[in-house]
Amino acid sequence: MLEIRNLNAWYGESHILHGTNMDVPEGRVVSLLGRNGAGKTTTMRSIMGLMDRTSGTLNYKGDNLLNLRPDQIARKGIALCPEDRCIFPSLTVTENLFLPPIIAKGGMDIEEIHTLFPNIRERAASRGTDLSGGEQQMLAIARILRTGARLLLLDEPTEGLAPVIVQQISRTIARIKEHGYSILLVEQNAHFVEGLADVHYLIENGMIVDRLEGTEFARQISRVEKLLGL
């Protein structure tokens, strides 16, 4: 579905990604693990066309995404749930939820979203920033499920959340996976992705240093945690 080959990316003069290679197959959950500053978010931003400069190949369903604008990339069926959640403070929960346009058929309808995230129904009229961190994360995920995008880029969805909320997010991602979505999941929390992802990539200094199948991951987890500095 998404093939990344020899991806390089820059912020101004700073060279962040150095020839990244990875694949996100259709209907699979792929994790990208690494320390702070390893290049995880930059990989996401490069896929969405949000970097100053990129080179290499970003092949999505036969189209090269490189040099497309972010809105054109989104309309190919890719949606980003950013690290900071980006809930708009001047908008209500409902306005935040309906902000992204429908780009293809097959997105979740509002009833399915309310079933998956009951809090969103209850807090519909609240300002987005009045929500708790967990609720904001749910809203940020719900927002992209409506659009019909089939590849979801989730950037550290558990960051700063209490363990009980992290479990809730984990169950939610598992249910989203059951709906057939492809997910690229950026994380620093190896235990969070352990049961969720089918394939794991480890990134360090802007380069992929290892690729582990889901079955192999449990055996290698101490090595992964060492790489993550845990």
Enumerate binding residues for other proteins (CB under 8 A).
Answer: 48-50, 69-71, 73-75, 79-80, 82, 86, 88-91, 95, 98-101, 103, 147
8 A C-beta contact, residue 135 and residue 141 = no
**Burial letters for 13-38: b for 16+ Cβ neighbours within 10 Å, e otherwise?**
eeebbeebebebeeebbbbbbbeeeb
Please, what is the minimum distance in Å from the beta carbon of residue 91 to other proteins? 5
Please, what is the minimum distance in Å from the beta carbon of residue 45 to other proteins? 9
Please, what is the minimum distance in Å from the beta carbon of residue 83 to other proteins? 11
**Residue (28 or 127) nearer to other proteins, CB:** 127
Closest to 16 (Cα-Cα) out of 49, 67, 53 = 53
Tell me how far apart the alpha carbons of residues 50 and 71 are, in angstroms, rounded to a whole number. Answer: 10
Please, what is the minimum distance in Å from the beta carbon of residue 86 to other proteins? 5
**Residue (10 or 98) nearer to other proteins, CB:** 98
Tell me how far apart the alpha carbons of residues 162 and 213 are, in angstroms, rounded to a whole number. Answer: 28
**Residue (66 or 86) nearer to other proteins, CB:** 86
